[in-house]
Amino acid sequence: MEYTNTVAASKITMSQLMLPSHSNFSGKIHGGYLLSLMDQIAFACASKYSGCYCVTASVDTVNFLNPVEIGELVTLKASVNYVGQTSMIVGIRVTSQNIQTGKEKHTNSSYFTMVAKDDKGNNVAVPKLILSNLQEVRRFYEGVERVNQKKKLQDQEKILDYSSPQAIENLKNYNVILAL
């Protein structure tokens, strides 16, 4: 029998009140603190979906769209958007709400690649993903594109000879001073 699971079965929601101890020097909630919350929910989501301990392989995108204020209620929502053989891309949406006015804003979007592990730390297969609606299909294909873009970037990095005369000459097109 094939091992399968649904996107709905992976969904996690987490809320937390933002305290002064979470703020940076400008009085906004520190981006690193929000990243920590995103990593926690990505772990919970991937582990719930796969039934395994999961580790963060990469944080593929983090968009900081709006600042989070002290005293706001932050809500993180996560779901598995894509699965490979042993990895999953978890999409995370973060909103904050002013608890006095009720006004909500979208503050962050992020994609974490998580890998399922066994008790010995070896990668293990994850369930096939059951896609139940067109939004889930769209998110899956966006995950396919993320994986393909990452592979293209890795291939380009392998090909480029950073020390070649052409690469050195191309540096003139950037805001750098070459002092070799």
pLDDT of 89-127, one tens digit each? 999 999 999 999 999 999 999 999 999 999 999 999 999
129 and 5 Cβ atoms separated by less than 8 Å: yes
- Taking only the tens place, the pLDDT of each residue in 22-80 is 999 998 999 999 999 999 999 999 999 999 999 999 998 899 999 999 999 999 999 99
Query: What domains are defined for the chain?
Result: 4-132 (3.10.129.10)
What would you measure as the largest C-alpha separation in the chain, in angstroms?
A: 62
Rounded Cα gap, residues 33 and 136, in angstroms: 29
**Beta-carbon contacts of residue 34 (< 8 Å; ≥ 6 apart):** 64, 68, 74, 94, 107, 108
The model's pTM is 0.87
Lowest model confidence (mean pLDDT) among 9-13, 23-27, 78-82, 128-132 = 23-27
